[in-house]
Amino acid sequence: MSIIDPHSAATAIGLVNSAFSSVKTALDLAKKTTDLDLKQEVSNVFDNVLELKATVYELAEENRNLRLRLEQKENISYFPQTGFFFKENESLPLCPKCYQSQDHAVVYLHRWNDGSHHCHVCGKNYY
């Protein structure tokens, strides 16, 4: 999977906005004509550009979320001697169950006085 850089995403959004503006101008011009076929085609193009615009924004948001997850993942290491994941420069372990879930949730474990750890999200205890 390739990740679009922010500049490319911004360029794509700019192109879509430009196309949207052009189609809007064409729609305004088509309103002045009596050619129903032309009006319908311009309306179809307008609908398609709106759909494209929504898709580009969704992809840009997904790309931003993937970048955040990738950056987060790079800052987390697994320590087999403890069985826990640790975020860089932090001493509290992360819940292995939550972190290894599909969402890769970063949930810190609570340490009890007896040395065990508890996750307040999934409820799992680690001894």
For 9-37, the pLDDT digits (tens) are: 777 778 888 887 887 888 788 888 888 88
H or E element that contains 31: none
Residue, of 98 and 73, whose pLDDT is higher: 98
Residue, of 97 and 24, whose pLDDT is higher: 97
Count Cβ neighbours within 10 Å for each residue of 60-97 and write b for 16 or more, e otherwise.
beebeeeeeeeeeeeeeeeeeeeebbbbeeeeebbbbe
Percentage of the chain modeled with pLDDT above 70:
94
Closest CA to 103 of 48, 64, 66: 66
| pTM recorded for the entire structure | 0.48
When pLDDT is cut at 50, 70 and 90, the band that residue 118 belongs to is: very high
Residue owning tokens 């129903």: 36
**Which residues, 6+ apart, have CB-to-CB distance to 31 below 8 Å?**
39
